Copies of this chain bind each other. A is one copy, B any other.
Amino acid sequence: MLLQVNMGYGRQSACGDPLSLWQDRPAKQAIVNFVEHVIDPSDAAYVPPEDRIVTIDMDGTLLCERPLSVGMVFVESLLHELAEAPQLQGRQPFDAVRQDRLDTLRKEHFEMFFGMSGAGLDEDAVRQKVRTLARQGRHPRFERPYRELFYRPMLQLVSYLMQKDFIIYVLSGSDQTVVRTLCAEVAELASLPPARFIGTVVALDVEYGAHGPVFYRLARELEPVNLRTGKALNILYRIGQYPIMAIGNSAGDCDMLAATLGSGYPSTLRLLLRHDDGQREYAYPRADNSGSHRDGPGLCQAQAGEDILAVSMKDDFRQIFEPSAR
């Protein structure tokens, strides 16, 4: 009873440990230390709330991206639908899909598929399909809907940063509409406005009807693809402020991590998540040519310098996914 009364006075104590799903190791200490300095007006590292920008990668950083990212699963589901259309029989890439040569296609033609797969669909239909996939699609190994593949410690970190008045941006190489729709299915991210989710944009055309504009997908994406240099460029184009903190997991995130160096604030933080837990998630090969996590913090040194904090899923995460409801 006394405890309950006390809880009313201090938010910190009411929440207990805001990063309870993180092991008490250097990564957690570095995060908390950074945040506590940055929010303290008497500290030399203080950053006012309007400049507390944090940019976070999605695939492989906020949720599982293996064997395929949700955006890629979505592209494949569209290709499968297209492959059913009789007028497309005998034409590539649809025959290849039918023949289950998806792995080959993915490696060889993914960029072609990206915009093409949804051409002609209106954005409402795209959102509806992604929502269904997020709720009903099943991850082949974990046998749970895709929206339950977010890493609990990362969502807890997002909530902690929000509570400290950080301005959260999710920067993903995936289709922006997929990113916005998928993240809206997750309680910790649902309160963020769509503008905070920046992905690769599929070009649209617009028509005007009685109920306002209808947006149709064209068969191509807009520049820049939101990976590598594209993430730094979109930080300028779309946010217009440098982040003081950035979190990624692959070579595609290095430019985003480097952008923190432009903020001008004395204390900034760069995190790289290491996929080293084959038992609970995946252990990525060290020399993976896909660009995902080659050699930890060393990965981004060319762009972002040496001061990068490695987070180990194996050692730093007490838990990975939400305990299954089944």
Contacts and interface: CB of A to CB of B under 8 A. Distances in A.
B236 A123 contact: yes
A212 to B, nearest CB: 3
Contacts of A211: 261-262
A201 B240 CA distance: 12
Contacts of A50: 193
Nearest to A220: B223
A215 B237 CA distance: 11
Given A213-B258, A232-B213, A261-B212, A239 B195 contact: yes
B262 A213 contact: yes
Given A213-B255, A222-B223, A237 B206 contact: no
Given A233-B206, A238-B238, A213 B261 contact: yes
Interface in A201-257: 201, 203-206, 208, 211-213, 215, 222-224, 229, 232-233, 236-242, 255
A197 B240 contact: yes
Copies of the protein in its oligomer: 2
A237 B194 CA distance: 9
A263 B215 CA distance: 14
A222 B208 contact: no
Interface residues on A, range: 35 or more
Given A206-B229, A223-B203, A212 B263 contact: yes
A244 to B, nearest CB: 11
A233 B204 contact: yes
Contact of A255 (B201, B206, B242): B206
Interface of A: 50, 123, 176, 180, 193-195, 197, 201, 203-206, 208, 211-213, 215, 222-224, 229, 232-233, 236-242, 255, 258-263, 302-304
